[in-house]
A and B are shown apart, each in its own frame.
Chain A
Amino acid sequence: MLNITKTAEGKKFCFALDGSLNTNTADEFEKQLREILPEAEELYIDLKDLTYISSAGLRVLLSAQKQMSRQGVMKVKNAGGFILETFEITGFTEILDLE
């Protein structure tokens, strides 16, 4: 289960994820991201309440990062515990801008 809370301020978008980002829930997140990506200049993803991430979730973050690198800024906030460890193992700590 994944609850996505989206807040928007002009071209600045913030997504707070609550729950698991896996194969089944990643699709919904990706859909919401694709809706705003064309205009986004700042993208913040708050992972404070994210408890689980699989490669499907990483894939979504990676594609968002690739696009945002070309058109703006993307920051991933509050990655902790298991999520942070996963980022470390997979080298995503280098790819994502973590706060």
Chain B
Amino acid sequence: MPDKLILPLSGHIDSNNSAQIESELHEKIAGTEGALVVLDAGKLEYISSAGLRVILRLKKTNPDLSIINVSSEVYEILDMTGFTEMMTVEKAYRIVSVEGCEEIGRGANGTIYRIDQDNVVKVYNNADALEDIRHEREVAKLALILGIPTAISYDVVRVGDSYGSVFELLNASSFSKILSREPEKLDWCAREYAAMLKKIHGTLVPAGKLPDMREKALECARFVKDHLPDGYGDRLVSLVEAVPHDDHMIHGDYHTKNVELQNDEVLLIDMDTLSVGHPIFELGPMYNSFIGFSEYDHDTILKFQGFDHVTGRLFWRRALAEYLGTKNERKLNEIEDKARIIGYMRLIRRSIRRGCIQTDEGRQEAELWTKELIGLLGRVDTLTFNANEIELEAQPGNLAEVQEFVDEHLRAAGCPEKAKMQIDVAVEEIFINITSYAYTPDKGNAAVRVEISEAPVSVTVTFLDHGVPYDPLSKADPDVTLSAEQRQIGGLGIFMTKKLMDGVEYEYKDGQNILKLKKNL
């Protein structure tokens, strides 16, 4: 980006002073090499055609010339004469003060204040504010088109030295506020929060419209790599590299101050970090906002969100369970660990970049995060996850957990009670089979995956294990016409499974026994 040269115009410009003003302007421009010239018409009261000619000539030598802070009278002249078609002409903005206004949210590049009952203003804290405002507006429009409820700014104003965008946000409470004032609503909040998140992550974005969070995560990993002991840094980078590209939307800063309840509608605000990417890149920062940031100093979250770290942790777990569709602690821990890797990585970089490690506290905080990160890097295989699958030791004691996990998904799919019973029995038969035969006498793991498909609605439960290759379907069915004396018990479980399910398939592939049960609902 070339430098910007802002030249003020003031008072009157007509044939009496236009030549002088023109030479002054040219003098100021002459010193700069190809700078972007911006005329600031904040104090310009009147311009005659002589003045217009000066601007026209300026445009010929500075094709990217723009004029800002134009009063409505001058704007009319520029519009009437066609200048607005030839160059960027921006009207002067209304001035707004946020003194004494309540801060209701804070994002990466701006702070949100409530200026009156119906409106909030997001004040940007950098010089490129107008560009950011334009970008956020574009992004919010895109989100709205794709079906995400959000507010669009309707006006741009000046706030002190910077700019702000004004949104209509009536009678709204952020989820942070609700959590701090009405703790009994925690479960409801977690459900709505997770529902919005699922909606966001389920939204496919056309290529190129939003930045790729994977790129940013890789940059972060490479930065942090140099601050980790040998081997761990490489591990971190390769874990992030292995995360596949994903064109689904992620918010980028999804904490409870950015989710608002307006009347009965849940809205997402602060869209400037909207990106695309794998959900783990969202869960990492989320972990940070509820736990990570205040892991060392528990008061941090109280200051930033308004609720304490106990509520933060509780909310995080509830919301994660709602988002994943399972209460299985093993699963939640597994995914929390992956999220923590991304989370700590970002916290460490932030700490270093902001010089926080200059203070004792900052250093200790960073050390804590680093220690946790190293521990996690030692035991996490991959950052990707499947909410529909759990892996656990193949032993009978785990049967209840497996059935409960499957049942959660069945309930979510609206499975009728009878079918659920039948599936539960089939699950037991197969799982117990694995516990009995796959690894005996050694131990081993089994994975259970539940997939629901629509139109027609059906459920497929898949069992995977690395044990002895065994095809349960190869055994002959027991003869069910025999009398009690003659009946054998063997093979009954598989027989029941085949009878109760609509489809049973087996294959041995890549060293795994894969058994699929299918039931139409």
Contact = CB atoms under 8 A, between A and B. Distances in A.
A89 B487 contact: no
Contacts of B421: 51-52, 82
A58 to B, nearest CB: 6
B425 A91 contact: no
Contact of A23 (B418, B432, B485): B432
Interface stretch (A11-19, A29-37, A61-69): A61-69
B500 interface: yes
Interface string A69-99: 1000000000001100010011100111000
A58 B489 contact: yes
A69 B484 contact: yes
- Chain B interface helix/strand/loop/mixed: helix
Contact of B432 (A52, A56, A90): A56
Interface residues of B, number: 26
A59 B399 contact: no
B428 interface: yes
A91 B493 CA distance: 13
Nearest to A81: B418
B484 A55 contact: no
A86 B493 CA distance: 11
Interface residues of A, number: 25
Contacts of A96: 484
B393 to A, nearest CB: 15
Given A54-B425, A54-B429, A90 B485 contact: no
Given A52-B424, A54-B425, A54-B432, 9 more contacts: A22-B428, A24-B397, A51-B421, A54-B428, A54-B493, A59-B489, A62-B489, A86-B425, A90-B495
Nearest to A53: B425
12 contacts: A22-B428, A52-B421, A54-B493, A55-B429, A55-B496, A56-B428, A56-B432, A65-B484, A66-B484, A86-B496, A91-B481, A94-B480
Nearest to B435: A23
B496 A90 contact: yes
B405 to A, nearest CB: 16
Contacts of A62: 484, 487, 489
B298 interface: no
